[in-house]
A and B are shown apart, each in its own frame.
Chain A
Amino acid sequence: MRYSFIAQLEELNNNVIKMGSILELSTNEMIRALDTIDVEIAKQIIARDDEIDLLEQKIERDCINILAKQQPLATDLRKITSIMKIITDIERIADQCADISEYIIKLSKMPRVKAPANLGNMIEAMKKMVKDTIDSFVEADVEKASTVMKADDVVDKYFGDICDELSDVMQKDSKVVPQSICYLMVIKYLERMADHATNIAEWITFIVTGDLALG
């Protein structure tokens, strides 16, 4: 038995889960921050992004060390190479949380307008995708990972609907164009976050089954 190697793998696993948990904190708070245009929460989300970046760098270094020193194979190899991809996606989602927060700060400096009707639902759907992704990593649950991939279509649909809504709003009242542009950016980031969650779900499937999703 390679006890020290197994301990290294466990530490790696725990750090990925930790990174995912910090991310979940941000996606959970996103709803309230957007709903109430809460600058304080937005700032906290931005600050948390640095924590995620540091963890990403540590995990990356650990993966490279394990590859160099332990020459992992089979499931171990799949797990380590997949983790290197997964942490990039987690880091991107965290970046996008920070990007959305910047728009919350911008919105706070403008006259308040009504948020797009389905924005709350879109965030909920994205938030659930992130949560399910982290859970399916923890539980090595391919079924759950596949629900994440399916949920991406729901988020895409919300994106299209909200785009139309914002387009209507802007045509009717040019005074709200600046706020609408902010919301447009926000939903684009949300849509991208869902894409990254889908990528993670695909890597989890690869870890468990060895099958690489194509496309």
Chain B
Amino acid sequence: MKDETKFSVKDLNLFYGNFQALKNINMELYKGQITAFIGPSGCGKSTFLKTINRMNDLVEGVKITGNITMDGVDIYKDMDAITLRTRVGMVFQQPNPFPMSIYDNVAYGPRIHGIRKKSVLDEIVEKSLKQAAIWEEVKDKLKKSALAVSGGQQQRICIARTLAIEPEVILMDEPTSALDPISTLKIEDLATELKKDYTIIIVTHNMQQAGRISDKTAFFLTGEVIEYGDTEQIFNNPRDKKTEDYITGRFG
């Protein structure tokens, strides 16, 4: 697979007040691939993920230096956050459907973007739920509350809600940590399927998950990227001893 840059990160530093959470991050994130961020709690991987759709903008006292470009455009200087987040969707650790019907959850984004026509919305809802591999399970209960289905199903509905506004990139922050193994494997299959059309960046504590689904893996430690490369290389033969120690469990 040819690596085509989607994001280019240059000299990125992030401070929460006096605390430096990200230190001089330089990396390319590639289109049509799944990139996994791994590392112990507090290493900065989720913080870095959130810089990609500017979720950190809302945190008080945050200061960011350096830059991130998407398709060559600086997402902090030359793009507003709303446009960015339309193009870069996000799925969180806890499934967070809105307290409304399954249909309304998925149609929420398109409605905000001004789509009112029922036939168009119907089509978007069906397509998104199908893409999220949940359509067959919920097609007869679209009017039911999204909170009434299982956690694994809720998470796929949230993914469908993300897909409904047709983003280019999906950020996933530990999307399966609250799910059972069957739902986890469904989300993993789904991610592998979706990377044909989307760029996916996933933070995971589950190393086997990173191994199963990602093309590239970055190992974070105390705010730095210690090693970044093809997942196969990172898991079989990491170059850095710190990476080796972490993935083989000789850590702490």
A contacts, CB < 8 Å to B: 1-2, 5-6, 71-78, 210
Residue of B nearest to A70 (CB): B249
Complex: A74 Cα to B250 Cα, angstroms: 12
Q: Are A210 and B250 in contact (CB under 8 A)?
A: no
Known A71-B208, A74-B244, A75-B244; contact A5-B249, beta-carbon cutoff 8 A: yes
Tell me whether B236 and A74 are in contact (CB under 8 A): yes
Query: Which residues of B line the A interface, CB within 8 A?
Result: 207-208, 211, 235-238, 243-244, 247-252
Are A76 and B248 in touch, CB under 8 angstroms? yes
| Docked-complex contact A1 and B236, CB < 8 angstroms | no
Partner of A74 from B208, B247, B251 at Cβ < 8 Å: B247
- A74 vs B240: C-alpha distance in the bound complex, in angstroms? 11
Residues of B within 8 A of A73 (CB): 207, 211, 235-236, 247-248
Q: Is the CB of A210 within 8 A of B251?
A: no
Closest chain A residue, CB of each to CB of B235: A73
Q: How far is the CA of A127 from the CA of B75 in the complex (A)?
A: 66
What's the minimum C-beta distance from A158 to chain B, rounded to whole angstroms? 36
Shortest C-beta distance, A119 to chain B (Å), equals 42
A74:B249 contact, CB within 8 angstroms: no
B227 to chain A, nearest CB (A): 11
Task: Report the minimal beta-carbon distance from A177 to chain B, rounded to whole angstroms.
Answer: 52
CB-defined contacts of B236 to chain A, threshold 8 Å: 73-74, 77-78, 210
Q: 3 closest Cβ contacts across the A-B interface? A: A210-B237, A2-B249, A73-B247
Alpha-carbon separation in the docked complex, A72 to B208 (Å): 10
30 examples of A-B residue contacts, CB within 8 angstroms: A1-B249, A1-B250, A1-B251, A1-B252, A2-B249, A2-B250, A5-B249, A6-B250, A71-B207, A71-B208, A72-B248, A73-B207, A73-B211, A73-B235, A73-B236, A73-B248, A74-B235, A74-B236, A74-B238, A74-B244, A74-B247, A74-B248, A75-B244, A75-B248, A77-B235, A77-B236, A78-B236, A78-B237, A210-B236, A210-B237
For the complex formed, measure the closest distance between the CB of B216 and the CB atoms of chain A, giving whole angstroms: 16
For A78, list chain B residues within 8 Å (CB).
Answer: 236-237
B25 nearest CB across to chain A (Å): 23
CB of A14, distance to nearest CB on chain B (Å): 19
CA distance A1 to B250 in the complex (A): 5
Within 8 Å CB of B244, what residues of A? 74-75
Q: Report B209 CB to chain A, min CB distance, Å.
A: 11
Q: How far is the CA of A6 from the CA of B244 in the complex (A)?
A: 14
